[in-house]
Amino acid sequence: MRWRTILKFLAVGVMASFLLGNTLAWSAQVISRGVKLPPRSMTEGKTLEVLTMPYPNTKAEVEIKGEFEKLTGMKVNYTFMPWEGTIDKAKIEIATKSSSFDIFYTDSLIRAVLHPMEGFAYWDEYMADPNLPDLHPETIAGRLMEHYYTYKGKIVGVPSFYDFKLVAYRKDLFNDPKERADFFEKYGYSLGPPETWDQFMDICEFFTRDTDGDGKIDFWGNSTGFGGQGPAFDQLSDMYETYNPIEDGRYWMNEKHEPIFNNPKAYHALEQLVHLAQSGFISPGYMKKEWGDAVDDMGAGKVAIAHDWTDVYVGLQLSPIVAGKIGYAKLPKYDVHNTRESAMDYAINKYSKHPDLAYAYLAWAYSEENDVRKALETKASANPMRIASMFNLDIINKKPWYLIGLWHMMHPETNIGWPQFPEFEEMYRIVSIAIQKAVIGEETPKEALDKAAEEVRKVMSRAGYYK
């Protein structure tokens, strides 16, 4: 009888221990990639829906998300759409207070347009929750959090990578003794990464040539795009914003919300841009090229120099034709080596059923360890967004443009953010069309920018700025 009683108590003890162990495991918090994940009791069986775009960073997330899903018991589903489709869909979701998507992929370009819609969740309460990981915003590169992801004093997003504008050039050609001698003979100074936009113009002229003697140009100085989505604006702003600011420390609108981009300096920048195109120094098809294909001809070995975004240059590093032959440099200048600091980014839907878990997933996906992992260990080869990643020698070796990024981070006054007012998206389109008209010769640079400024003034007036 005594042994039966002992065995009975042992069985009860084992069962209690098993149940207690399971309960503790259920409520325990796992550390993954340096991030404290939520207890499985919060995450098991839940699903997150992500509305996003096909960028290297989002593709890298898909490659690694299985680890998060296994550890949390959650599913993370990605819906990919083109840039405009994703932004338009996000606007509709916010306007209808839909919870179909938990996470939106957006663009710092139009954060000032999206914020007033009041559809993004504030992250501060999740950052303070002991059950959720810390975002560590102080370790994010550049001035991105200041420029775009703080609204009404609270955090409303996170960049998916640190992006900026810079020059890519064919260093094998720039270092070729014959090219250097011929360039010096023609222009009277040494061939190298351009310090000024005048030097950039000379380089584009010099390298535009017929290489096979058939009488047709088959190699060009520059590769770029002026397509309908807005790269035309970027091409002008790269040049124009290297002047010292025009008024009130600004380039496009003054403190009274009056357009100030129809001025002699902007005219001159656009005149040089028009000269590049109309002189045949830009590879063909530029009026139809968007951000994604603006430097394709450089990757094909047909172009000497370009100025574009870092995420565009990922493809150059992978091109079998020019891999290892590309050098990077700061944008040329009129007065100062400024750059546009930007990012694609994530926001959490205010109407999500699981905003806390959406935050936990993003904090995990963009932890310092995963930031490096996505850059070095995924096929997509994502660009990083953490300061520590910019100093990682393996990343610098794989993505040498971040040496230029480090220079800009050490000179934060050179990082120019997108203009921050709700009507900027309209201004962006208006100015882009004006640039296109100037490039094809429909209007002079002065006529195009004067008309654009007047149209923008009407937009601002309708919005009530001049009452």
Decide: 334 and 196 in contact? Cβ < 8 Å: yes
Q: What per-residue confidence (pLDDT) applies to 250?
A: 97
Tell whether 88 is covered by a domain.
Answer: yes
Q: At what angle are helices 231-240 and 424-439 packed, to 10 degrees?
A: 90
Tell whether 239 is covered by a domain.
Answer: yes
Q: Looking at the structure, tell me whether residues 271 and 383 fall in a common domain.
A: no
Q: Which domain holds residue 278?
A: 163-341+417-462
Q: Looking at the structure, tell me whether residues 57 and 81 fall in a common domain.
A: yes
Strand locations in 324-431 (E): 326-329, 339-342, 344-348, 415-416
Q: What per-residue confidence (pLDDT) applies to 429?
A: 95
3-state secondary structure of 417: coil
Q: Looking at the structure, tell me whether residues 284 and 356 fall in a common domain.
A: no
Instruction: Determine if residue 285 is left, alpha or beta; phi over 0 gives left, psi from -120 to 50 gives alpha, anything else beta.
Output: left
Tell whether 19 is covered by a domain.
Answer: no
Tell whether 303 is covered by a domain.
Answer: yes
Q: Looking at the structure, tell me whether residues 180 and 37 fall in a common domain.
A: no
Other beta carbons within 10 Å of 462: 11
Output the tens digit of pLDDT for each of the chain's 467 residues: 454 554 444 444 444 443 334 443 444 667 878 888 999 999 999 999 999 999 999 999 999 999 999 999 999 999 999 999 999 999 999 999 999 999 999 999 999 999 999 999 999 999 999 999 999 999 999 999 999 999 999 999 999 999 999 999 999 999 999 999 999 999 999 999 999 999 999 999 999 999 999 999 999 999 999 987 789 999 999 999 999 999 999 999 999 999 999 999 999 999 999 999 999 999 999 999 988 889 999 999 999 999 999 988 988 888 999 999 999 999 999 999 999 999 999 999 999 999 999 999 999 999 999 999 999 999 999 999 999 999 999 999 999 999 999 999 999 999 999 999 999 999 999 999 999 999 999 999 999 999 999 999 999 999 999 98
What letter does residue 200 receive in the DSSP assignment? H
Residue that the structure tokens 């020019």 belong to: 322
Q: Looking at the structure, tell me whether residues 198 and 259 fall in a common domain.
A: yes
Instruction: Determine if residue 129 is left, alpha or beta; phi over 0 gives left, psi from -120 to 50 gives alpha, anything else beta.
Output: beta
Q: What per-residue confidence (pLDDT) applies to 25?
A: 41
- How many Å apart are CA 377 and CA 381, to the nearest integer? 7
Q: Looking at the structure, tell me whether residues 89 and 216 fall in a common domain.
A: no
Q: Looking at the structure, tell me whether residues 321 and 454 fall in a common domain.
A: yes
Q: Looking at the structure, tell me whether residues 330 and 349 fall in a common domain.
A: no
Q: Looking at the structure, tell me whether residues 144 and 192 fall in a common domain.
A: no
Residue that the structure tokens 């032959």 belong to: 325
Residue whose C-alpha is closest to residue 199's, from 215, 176, 183 = 183
Q: What per-residue confidence (pLDDT) applies to 24?
A: 39
Q: What per-residue confidence (pLDDT) applies to 69?
A: 97
What are the Cα distances from residue 291, in Å, to 307, 313, 374?
11, 11, 22
Q: Looking at the structure, tell me whether residues 328 and 425 fall in a common domain.
A: yes
Strand order from edge to edge, sheet including 75-80: 75-80, 47-52, 103-107, 344-348, 158-159
Tell whether 411 is covered by a domain.
Answer: no
Tell whether 412 is covered by a domain.
Answer: no
Q: What per-residue confidence (pLDDT) applies to 29?
A: 64
Tell whether 62 is covered by a domain.
Answer: yes
Domains held by the chain: number: 2
Q: Looking at the structure, tell me whether residues 363 and 426 fall in a common domain.
A: no
Tell whether 404 is covered by a domain.
Answer: no
The CATH number of residue 328's host domain is 3.40.190.10
The pTM (predicted TM-score) of the whole model is 0.90
Q: What per-residue confidence (pLDDT) applies to 6?
A: 45
Q: Looking at the structure, tell me whether residues 210 and 252 fall in a common domain.
A: yes
